A and B are shown apart, each in its own frame.
Chain A
Amino acid sequence: MKNFAGKLLPVLAMLLMAHNLFAQDNLIRGRIISDGDGQGIAGVNINELDPTNRFMSGTITDMNGDFSLKIKSIGDKLKISFIGFEAKTLPIGAQKVFNVRLKEKSTTFDDIVVTSKKTTSNGAFDIPKREISTAIQKVSAKDFEDLSIASIDEALQGRVAGLDIISASGDVGSGTSMRIRGITSINSGSEPLIVLNGIIYDAPSSSSFDFTTANQEQFADLLSVNVSDIESITVLKDAASTAQWGSRGANGVISIQTKRGVRGKTKFLYSYKNSGAVQPKGMNMLTGNDYTMLMKEAYFNPNMSDRTSNIREFNYDRTNPDYENYNNNTDWVSAVTQYGNTNDHFVSLSGGGERARFSVTGGYYDKTGTVIGQNLIRYSSRVSLDYAVSDRIKFFTEFSFTDNSNKENYGGLLETAYKIMPNMSIYSQNPDGTNTENFFKMPENASIALKDQREKLINPVALATLANKNVRDIRIIPVFRIQYDFTDPAIQMLRFESVVSFDVNNKSTYSYLPKELISQSWSKDVNKASTLDTKYLYLSTESILMWSPKFENTDHALNIRGSFQLGTSTSRYQSIETSGSPNGITASTASGYVSNFGTGPSESRWMAFLGTMHYVFKDRYIADFTLRRGGSTKFGNNRKWGYFPGISFAWNIADEPFLEGSKKWLSTLKFRPSWGFSGNEPKAEYLFYSMYSAYSNYLGIPTIRPDNIQMTNLRWEKVTSWNLGLDLGLFDDILYADFNFYHKHTEDMLFEKLSIPSSSGYGILSWENAGTMDNDGWELNLQGNKLLKIGDFYAGIVLNFSNYINTIIDLKQSILDSYNTDYTYENAKYMSRLQLHNAYGSIYGFRYKGVYQYSEYEPGREGKSPFALDEGGQIIRDANGKPLRMTFAAGKTAEYKFKGGDAIYEDINHDGNINELDIVYLGNSNPLFNGGVQFKFNYKRLSATVFSNYRIGNKIVNMARMNAENMYSNNNQAASVNWRWRKDGDVTSIPRALKESGYNFLGSDRFVEDGSFVRIKNIQLNYSFDPKLIKQMNLTQLSLYVSINNPVVFTKYSGVDPEVNYGSMGVSTDNSQTPSSKYFTVGVTITL
């Protein structure tokens, strides 16, 4: 206070004088000179600021350093600033002439140790990392900025303990499935909530129509955020941290922060990345010659009849006019794969002064797939402008724009390539065997036995060339924020903030399938064109009041935040499908049969009151409280509102006085218990209404019918979770570990499309609360930054592990019944079971024991011929003393007597009958643990990072191999079937070929494989040039980098890619989706 008065008094005195002497004139003038050389400085900013630092008037100095300025009030201050000089602020008062010397900023620092508190947002407050009491993990963009990746899910894979990400496929623009801490819900979606700069970044509501799959939507969502724009990503894992997102937070939250302008010289950055990708080698398939030989056998074996195997297309029959088209050895897989190329350009311009900061970025991303016909082009741009009107009032604006054009394949090319007949040619061939320019399609008069090939498999090369499927997605997100401080934030903060954000998303899908591709006569399915347009608008507002009171006693610190949020989203879709249009007309607007037409609006709203409190006592004891009261349009009147509380504590044990002695080595020891409650809501709207909708006409009378059963009791899915966390830092946090142990309890689990007796008139209940599930798990994150230091060489390691066990506690009996259907005695089917107190994703089937070597029994052929053995391994004989032949499904319609060359299934109960009683547990698709490891090396200006992710102990059903080894249909098979059983006595593990007969590929452990893998996800090498060296080129930064992605996968899995998404019932099933490609990237970043 004394100091303050000392400053104030002369000012007051001057003020009075000025008033007396120059009251009629408030023009001031002066000269600004450099302290160093005494010369005037041109271009110096002279600004008049009011006591809250609001800009009142201003000018700049001329060539000589002189200025004159008409001021608004002599009570204001004068701020004099210039780049490279230290700014000065002077009171104006009565002074008229300001001759000021500016000191040049010193540019060299000797050994300055900066100790700043690094703050992290816990979703509500920016607080020092040591004050965090919840289970959250932050990933900095630095970790992935050298990679050429389209979306952040790819960047996050393996980096966050407890976040399990599996890509759906390697197709360009295909999605991923993300799970934070396991699945909380069997049927209502377990994808985490994405929050971008504090605003929910939502997928368009899909209540009224089905886009494709939810995963792909989420992907599209993430695809519209350019990875280069990202500053950091924070993953909120426990319910105490996600409670603030209430009903949306149950699956965890991924919060993305984008880069903003920073104060300083205007910075221009350009980066370019080029990637080349190839697809990993898949299964070896049969050549045309091997295939035809197999097919002849497969058709002969079931009935031992030459007549059935006499199929013209396999006969190399020269009298067949299509002979040339069926005598080839086409490698369809290589015909549909290619070298994929990605170009990724990014420019950014950012900077700002005291008042305004800005950042403008633009990106162009162009990727061609490793499967032909796929191309993704994205233009993205993001502008942010922060402007401080005064120290008290600030504006923040953001504007982002993304235009995604994704050219997709009309159907699964790779899937078809693995199935289509390899003796068939790609192009129609002339009688001399040369290709014409027309694609070959199997003519309608082909053998009836090949009907499935003719109708279901479209020449994939032709499909990629002639058919279209284009998805265009334009998304604009403007955000406006205003902030007002009632008090000087330096003393005590009382701040009001208001945010308004929009999200405009227009998406259209257009596809066309021309007649040339379909081998059937003119019908309504020919020349099929369809368009789907969706428009989506999301508007949200938030009003926030924040208070950080100043306590006399500095032992206490408190932050309180209250907010009111409101969101509304509206969407409308329109779809039209026409067919039978004349050739050449490819738009669905042309008149043809309108085979499908739909349009529908949808709307939803939500609202929430949110209070959070962060309290710190003696810097060591931290408590956080969150309470959200959220309301949604998705529930009926008595169920609209829900309370979502969260409590967490942290105790920085290392700071306790009694541990003062160990401070040298124990830098952090923190215990964090937390408890919280969050929810999940159904995706659909209006469920609690009984609705009537228009049908069509009968006898000219318009018809209206009841749509649904009214869901009067539908309520939030509730997720309660406990988290016990421990942070440990050694030697100034060079070695840092955080460990979390959690228990997550989901009640009123939401189920979609629940079967109910159809005698009710409806087959399903759209959504219902119907069960309870637990997830227990732990996560460990280890960081050793600069663990090793030898001269200029540093090495560090970051690794994480996580694991969880998922248990179904309670489920409506009818759900269990509808999931646990009776065994159907069909090939390729695994028993799936949903059992209480068991994990989701278990696989049940037979044990495969190889192939019967002989058809008939002779002594010594026990186990090698299909005759039943007792427990002692002795042959079982019937009443007549004849050996008992092994039978499948005895007494059922599917009954089958095994013969030589058939698969051996273990007869667990030794009754000579292979049936459901011989089915055993074969494993589970949930990994034992999964995570990632990152090694970092630095040597001077060269840095290298090796990053790998892994999943251990999960089982995969290799359906791709099953389809390629079953020898049951006309589909092409893997080269391994060349080892098949052909005649009595053959010793092999591959059964005989049986076209649509036998039971050689029942769900058994033959196709259940260990999906454990360790993938070297990427190796990055970065060199940044010495700033001194490049200063001559007027650059501030120049770096070059190379990265190799996915070079090696260590796995026992026999399929192409062990990363297989969870399918139905939580079982991972490999359906030969496009594998993740191997690619390398070279890039350059230039900063001016």
Chain B
Amino acid sequence: MTVMLSSCTDWLTIQPAGKVVLDNYWKSESDVENVVAACYRSMVEENYVKKLIVYGELRSDNVTMEYTTNQADLTKINEGNILPTNPYASWSEFYQVINYCNIILHYAPDAQQIDPYFSMAKLNAKMAEVLAIRALNYFYLVRAFGQVPYITKASLSEVQNFEIAKSSEDVILDGLEADLIKAEGWAMTSYGNTASNKGRITKNAIRALLADIYLWRNKYDECITYCDKVLIDNSLNLIPADLYTYETVFGIKNSRESIFELQFSATNQTYNDAVNKFYGTYSDVGYLNPVVGTVCENKELFDVNSDNQFTDLRRKDYIYGGTSNSKIYYIFKYCGLFRSESSDGKIYRYYFRDAKSSPANWIIYRLPDIMLMKAEALVQQGNFLPALHLVNTTYMRSHPTIAPADTLNASSFTTKMEMEELVLKERQREFLFEGKRWFDLMRMARRDSSTDRLLVKVLSKYTANLGEIGSKLKDMNALYFPISESELNANSKLVQNPYYDKEY
């Protein structure tokens, strides 16, 4: 009888076709490799990149909503009216990646034990990649939400407790720093081909991330140390203007100045629809437009010559549209392939990419970022001249037509405030629409312990309801996103973020 029953139980055991069950997985190096690739793959999901844009760009003074767009959730964020029910308040995409990372960290050592060709060094390189991906995701969460649950254990079975309280920013960032320092030692310098070197985590990507975290935490010495580690690497160079900076960096992608960019490709059917929808394509207007006053027609931001033409290439490269009688401008960065220009630089034509055959990448770190992070740190340390030199490096690249004498002059930037503003402005010019601006402004506000300067800049993009938006952003806590309501409901340990916990 027992024999019969156990054979019955065998008969009642079937395994899914087309899927692998845990017992048969984690047996070899490639098993690990495939899940590591899934971490990256889930970061090129449309909703993931959308959130990078919403968290880093939308609330800033760079962009505003295209008025014909019917995107109520985005409009509300743009107007500083973020409700916990807003779908962009959900952090699920980030934690999905984090959990993949946690699962790899949990099981990869088992695979290493089994696969004789899977050396310890190879395992460590994978662990480094995964630690860095996890750190990057947490760093986004910390910047967007402040405090979040810091989970480093894999979610495996329903018997686990998934209701985990928030950790303080310091606890999380201390953890990330430790992980990254460990990972830096283990990580690969090169994967043997350009796409992988730019599309996967390398030693330089880890250093860039570390520098970013240190800067966020006002740890300027450490920030400079890690920036320098990247800057001394000769494999990275700025693409000069005569090599068509825009086309090389954003059109062709994976340039020599790139450190880490999310790879989209038509063959993998990853079309970067987030960029297509937010910034537009040749045929469709995007949800977001550059702000006319603070960006498009801002003569202080982008220098103007005697012909009333912008001389800064970046203004021409990143924005198109706008005629003498129409003030409608559109974002060209990422949507565009290249731009041609008449010899006097007055007339230019824009060529768009075909989003279906050559989708844009999304750049997380590139060399100018390292330079300007270092500049920002140097300014905070009162070290103005080397900072100015770094700013000039990126500034001059985009002003090939002006004489070196017209570079930004040290005599014009004598106070710390002036220098800070200069670096901030240069970062705005350089990283327009790259999902950096809002975090730059937040860093400034955090250092000031006040949103006053941030407010002046951000409010300049609005034409209505200035008072209301201003009064909301007075509160430092309002710089963060609320925790999504569904998350609060599912997790009794969570407390709503300050500012959003009162009546909204």
Contacts and interface: CB of A to CB of B under 8 A. Distances in A.
B490 interface: yes
Contacts of A701: 33-34, 37
Given A705-B100, A818-B486, A891-B503, A692 B37 contact: no
- Give the most central of B12, B199, B283, B492: most A CB within 10 Å: B12
A861 to B, nearest CB: 31
A756 B284 CA distance: 37
A702 B95 CA distance: 21
Interface string A700-714: 111111110111111
Contact of A705 (B17, B38, B83, B492): B38
Contacts of A706: 35, 99-100, 103
A691 interface: yes
A607 B489 contact: no
A821 B98 CA distance: 27
Interface residues of A, number: 69
Contact of A702 (B34, B91, B155): B34
A689 B35 CA distance: 18
Contacts of B486: 755, 758, 818, 821
B87 to A, nearest CB: 12
B76 to A, nearest CB: 9
A581 to B, nearest CB: 15
Contacts of A702: 34, 37
Contacts of B269: 696
A209 B137 CA distance: 31
Contact of A631 (B8, B15, B81, B489): B8
Interface string A676-712: 0000000001100111111111111111111101111
Contacts of A818: 486, 489-490
A820 B490 CA distance: 11
- Give the most central of A607, A705, A817: most B CB within 10 Å: A705
A276 to B, nearest CB: 44
A637 interface: yes
B487 A893 contact: no
Interface in A613-642: 631-633, 637, 640-641
Contacts of B485: 821-822
A602 B15 CA distance: 10
Nearest to A636: B13
A699 B98 contact: no
B498 interface: no
Interface string B289-302: 00000000000000
Contacts of B90: 758
A693 B35 CA distance: 10
A686 B19 contact: yes
A108 to B, nearest CB: 60
Contacts of A605: 11-12, 14
A662 interface: no
Nearest to B472: A893
B41 interface: yes
Contacts of A813: 492
Interface residues of B, number: 75
B38 A631 contact: no
Given A698-B37, A703-B35, A760-B99, A755 B12 contact: no
Nearest to A629: B5
B492 A690 contact: no
A454 to B, nearest CB: 12
A765 B160 CA distance: 12
A761 B155 contact: yes
Contact of B158 (A601, A696, A712, A757): A712
Contacts of B490: 755-758, 814, 817-818
B75 to A, nearest CB: 13
Interface string A316-339: 000000000000000000000000
A893 B156 contact: no
Interface string B261-273: 0010101111000
Interface string B461-504: 00000000000000000000000011101111010000000011
B235 interface: no
Contact of B99 (A607, A632, A693, A762): A762
Contacts of B16: 602, 685-686, 689, 691
A879 interface: no
Interface stretch (B20-28, B240-248, B408-416): B20-28
A548 interface: no
B125 interface: no
A328 B130 CA distance: 64
- Give the most central of B14, B15, B100: most A CB within 10 Å: B14
A692 B15 contact: no
B31 to A, nearest CB: 8
A1068 B164 CA distance: 37
B42 A693 contact: no
A812 to B, nearest CB: 11
A712 B42 contact: no
Given A686-B19, A689-B22, A757-B491, A523 B99 contact: no
A763 interface: yes
A757 B488 CA distance: 8
Interface string A572-607: 000000000000000000000100000011111111
Contacts of B283: 521, 523
A710 B83 CA distance: 33
A757 B162 contact: yes
Given A705-B35, A706-B100, A821-B485, A696 B12 contact: no
B285 interface: no
A263 B494 CA distance: 74
Contacts of A452: 70
Contacts of A709: 155-158
A637 B164 contact: no
A689 B163 CA distance: 22
B109 interface: no
B47 to A, nearest CB: 12
A553 interface: no
Contacts of A976: none
A828 to B, nearest CB: 15
Contact of B12 (A602, A633, A692, A763): A633
Given A605-B12, A756-B490, A765-B158, A893 B37 contact: no
B489 A814 contact: yes
B263 A640 contact: no
B156 A710 contact: yes
B200 A699 contact: yes
A947 B25 CA distance: 62
Nearest to B198: A699
Contacts of B38: 695, 698, 703-705
B305 interface: no
Nearest to B99: A761
Nearest to B488: A817
A824 interface: yes
A112 interface: no
A113 interface: no
A710 B158 contact: yes
B68 interface: yes
A702 B8 CA distance: 37
Contacts of B199: 698-699
Interface string B224-268: 000000000000000000000000000000000000000101011
Contacts of A692: 19-22, 25, 35
A843 to B, nearest CB: 21
Given A707-B19, A762-B99, A814-B491, 7 more contacts: A631-B8, A637-B9, A698-B199, A709-B156, A760-B99, A814-B492, A891-B503
For the complex of A and B, the 5 pairs showing the least CB-CB separation, nearest first, are A761-B99, A758-B92, A690-B22, A757-B491, A705-B38
7 contacts: A631-B12, A697-B267, A698-B263, A703-B38, A756-B162, A757-B163, A758-B92
Interface of A: 448, 451-452, 521, 523, 593, 600-607, 631-633, 637, 640-641, 685-686, 689-707, 709-714, 755-763, 765, 768, 813-814, 817-818, 820-822, 824, 891-893
